[in-house]
Amino acid sequence: GKKLGYTFNHGNLHNVSLGQGQEVVAEQALDLAAREGHWVILQNIHLVAKWLSCLEKKLEQLSEGSHRDFRVFVSAEPAPCPESHIIPQGILENCIKITSEAPTGMHANLHKALDNFSQDTLEMCSQEKEFRSILFALCYFHAVVAERRKFGPQGWNRSYPFSTGDLTISVSVLYNYLEASSKVPYDDLRYLVGEIMYGGHITDDWDRRLCKTYLEEFIKPEMLEGELCLAPGFPLPGNMDYNGYHQYIDDALPPESPYLYGLHPNAEIGFLTQRSERLLRTVLELQPRDSSTGQGAVGTQEEMVQALLEEMLEKLTEEFNMAELLAKVEERTPYAVVALQECERMNGLTAEIRHSLTELELGLKGELTMTGDMEALQNSLFLDTVPESWVRKSYPSTASLGSWFADLLARISELEAWTRDFSLPSTLWLGGFFNPQSILTAVMQTTARKNKWPLDKMMLQCDVTKKSREDFASAPREGAYVHGLFMEGARWDAQTGTITDARLKELTPAMPVVFIKAIPDDKQDTRGLYPCPLYKTRQRGPTYVWTLNLKTKENPSKWVLAGVALLLQT
């Protein structure tokens, strides 16, 4: 617009940010611009869904007989799902469409981060060397946090809208602080950038720890002594001009790999696998379901679903008799209470499964009218996904229906074994609980009652044994042995008893049996320990269970950047 003489000052460029009550203003601007040959910018048209049909008609009217220089520019946020595509087809077909996509890869992201500045920016601070070094480190930090999203939950537990505004404001803060102080206030800068500029977006405590750790690694006194590497094989550059920094990125930045983010190469295998699974699932959902064609076809959708539901109903065990179990309990210890709660939850889930499958069976036979819920259940069974009505009464899981149902039967048999006499099993399958926190809290409650310690002043201590589940014949006197844990991002070295780098292509190696006991929180020595989050599934985020301190010979920051966590399901 500026190049062609269209500016706000000239009065021939009209900008309308749409929202509450701005539709009339927009229509007036369009009428004026069409007569006079002005330009109109309509921002955020997705906020006025009901008015879009009027806009479509208006543009159609103005397309004839308007001034030849009249132009309209509209902007909208991308729709989160197909149902939210509200822009009328007429507008879409008649306009030139431009999308702004974030760059992919560290190389493009780092160049784009640096593009927000110029040679003038590099020269504006009196402490030039310090300012340039920290500015480049901030650009690398911005590129890392923006691109780490592609690694899914192992990258960030949740997705955050980090923007170039966060970077430019951080550099402004850096300039102000360096101008006001002769020494570089590293702690202040890290706090402002990590807790406010970028941290303001972050809602998850583990993501906050990750952001803080990156800044502790990138912004520290060693950066001015030429001893800091932003990534393996990529030292922080010395004092250069603006074009020199761009050239340095082209020449020195290693090829794209998870190492640039502090992650293990397995992280890339994991996210590419998940992307492939999504693609193949979409292809599966698109296949025809009404007829069986071709040699070796299994049968129609109805026949396949009928066979599957009959098999599931046959394998599904009877519900737990709660009255009988309550009569069996001599003392309602914390462990017994957990067992009873788990049985109640399992009854709710199995009752829903049996009811919905029986109903669908009658529907397929024509004895009941097929409802929307029954059709949804039929589709889920056919596509091997867990039905929505079961998910609501279930535990978090990313498994397909077949694996999920086998896992459900295993959970039921574990509960049956435990409730025979309510004595604590030799090792507990922590992943087999609806609520794993309850059994870990029970460990603390039992120890607190026994030793008369205050519960709020206690914590769990975790000792990883060198044994597997089969090596244990009885439960420990205090605490509990737990099995069924997996590590993502690293592996456990049983010989040295510490966390170590993962082996290539071993995405979630199993942990040995872990001995968990409760201790007063002032007795825990935190040196040489990595506080490792434990999650129910690889989705992480809301499936958080507990924090277990694991021994490490290396700096714990290495495992923070690698996104190392324990999982109850793979």
Is 67 in the same domain as 173? no
- Going by their DSSP bridges, the two strands 428-429 and 480-483 should be labelled as parallel
Please report whether residue 502 resides in a domain: yes
Q: What is the pLDDT of residue 69?
A: 92
Name which of 150, 158, 163 is nearest 112 in CA terms: 163
Distance CA 270, CA 413 (A): 31
Per-residue pLDDT, 295: 45
Of 243, 265, 287, which one is at a domain's C-terminal end? 265
Same-domain pairing of 237 and 366: no
Residue 52 shares a structural domain with residue 175? no
Whether residues 86 and 178 fall in one domain = no
Q: What is the pLDDT of residue 294?
A: 47
Task: Please report whether residue 287 resides in a domain.
Answer: no
Other CB atoms within 10 Å distance of the CB of residue 360: 24
Residues 186 and 214 in one domain: yes
Q: For residue 353, give the CATH number of its domain.
A: 1.20.1270.280
CA distance 222 to 496: 31
At 87, list the tokens: 């822009």
Where a domain ends, among 357, 392, 423?
423
Q: What is the CATH number of the domain that holds 31?
A: 3.40.50.300
Q: Which residues contact 268 (CB under 8 A, 6 or more apart)?
A: 151, 257, 258
Instruction: Report yes or no on whether pTM surpasses 0.85.
Output: no
| Any domain includes 284 | no
Among 211, 239, 265, the domain boundary falls at: 265
Do 337 and 482 belong together in one domain? no
One domain for residues 63 and 211: no
Report how far Cα 154 is from the mean position of its chain's Cα atoms: 7
419 and 432 within one domain? no
In this structure, are 405 and 455 located in the same domain? no
Q: Does residue 89 form part of some domain? A: yes
Q: What is the pLDDT of residue 366?
A: 84
Distance CA 135, CA 429 (A): 49
pLDDT at 290: 59
In a domain, 279, yes or no: no
What is the domain-level CATH number for residue 114? 1.10.8.720
Domain containing 126: what range?
106-265
Residue 136 lies in a domain: yes
Question: Same domain, yes or no, for 81 and 110?
Answer: no
Provide the pLDDT for residue 453.
Answer: 87
User: Smallest Cα–Cα separation from 514: which of 491, 484, 487, 474?
Assistant: 484
Question: Where in 24-152 does DSSP place strands (E)?
Answer: 39-43, 71-74
| 74 φ, ψ (degrees, to nearest 5) | -120, 145
What pLDDT score was predicted for residue 76? 87
Residue 40: strand pairing partners: 14, 72
In this structure, the answer to whether residues 414 and 456 fall within a common structural domain is: no
Structural domain count, the chain:
4
In a domain, residue 99? The reply is no
Domain of 438, CATH number, reads 3.10.490.20
**Domain identity same for 203 and 61:** no
Instruction: Tell me what pLDDT residue 169 has.
Output: 94
C-alpha distances (whole Å) from 298 to each of 146, 289, 294, 365, 566 are 46, 11, 10, 19, 40
- In the predicted model, residues of the chain with pLDDT beneath 70 are 289-299
Residue 120 within a domain: yes
Q: Which residue has the tokens 């749409």?
A: 18
